[in-house]
């Protein structure tokens, strides 16, 4: 669905937004289970986006920004949190140009009259990244989509929860240098020479 159509749908569905005191959270985790990760240059890794501690969740709409000089967003996969009740979905990946950050827009919603009660970390989606250049401190930031209402999460009763947000940091290291095939043959060659000399010594002793 077109991003602007999604915005209009959400505006109609979740009218009268009222800030509540819920401690809803969105956080980013890498394969090590943390929000800080070291990846080798040219490697592919996942950034998982989780939501937790929110009642009556009926939709979300946010951007994930990243340094596209050092990271390349390859693919965004939905966690299908609303299942068959999903009525709208938007995902776009826009690489940055020059100093402009790359941007991933991610949104889903449902028209179900009852939202989801999330009491443990639940996957919203996964972004597959490629590490491009050796670098330190590449920050991935989650922010509300500026075209949509200011809340990142939406409830089916029309109120928006307060949201804690944790992004992530990626350090890119040098890719490991593979051993040449000749090096792999070095040890077996030594063993063969050693065995040959040992056999000659035994024959001479006899």
pLDDT, tens digit, for every residue of 55-112? 999 999 999 999 999 999 999 999 999 998 888 888 999 999 888 999 999 999 998 8
d(CA 136, CA 170): 7
Q: Are 11 and 149 in contact (CB under 8 A)?
A: yes
- At 177-206, the pLDDT tens digits run 665 655 455 555 545 545 545 555 555 555
Q: How many CA atoms are closer than 13 Å to the CA of 184, on its beta-carbon side?
A: 4
Beta-carbon contacts of residue 100 (< 8 Å; ≥ 6 apart): 68
DSSP-derived secondary structure letter, 179: P
pLDDT tens-digit profile of 5-55? 444 344 434 443 444 446 899 999 999 999 999 999 999 999 999 999 999
pTM over 0.75: yes
d(CA 88, CA 95): 23
Question: Residue 27: CB partners within 8 Å, gap ≥ 6?
Answer: 35, 49, 50, 52, 121, 165, 166
Please check whether residue 137 is in contact with residue 169, taking contact to mean a CB–CB distance below 8 angstroms: yes
* Alpha carbon distance 135, 156 (integer Å): 42
């Amino acid at each position: 669905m077109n991003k602007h159509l999604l915005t209009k749908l959400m505006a109609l569905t979740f009218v009268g937004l009222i800030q509540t005191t819920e401690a809803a959270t969105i956080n980013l985790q890498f394969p090590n289970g943390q929000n800080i990760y070291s990846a080798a240059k040219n490697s592919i890794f996942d950034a998982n986006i989780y939501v937790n501690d929110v009642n009556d969740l009926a939709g979300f709409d946010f951007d994930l920004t990243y340094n596209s000089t050092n990271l390349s967003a390859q693919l965004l996969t939905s966690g299908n949190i609303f299942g068959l009740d999903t009525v709208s979905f938007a995902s776009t990946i826009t690489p940055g140009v020059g100093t402009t950050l790359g941007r991933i827009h991610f949104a889903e919603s449902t028209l179900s009259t009852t939202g989801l009660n999330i009491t443990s970390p639940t996957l919203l989606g996964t972004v597959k990244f490629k590490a491009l250049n050796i670098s330190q401190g590449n920050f991935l930031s989650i922010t509300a989509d500026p075209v949509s209402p200011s809340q990142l999460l939406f409830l089916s009763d029309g109120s928006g929860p307060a949201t804690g947000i944790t992004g992530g940091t990626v350090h890119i290291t040098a890719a490991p240098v593979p051993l040449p095939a000749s090096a792999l043959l070095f040890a077996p060659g030594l063993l063969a020479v050693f065995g040959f000399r040992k056999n000659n010594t035994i024959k001479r002793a006899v």
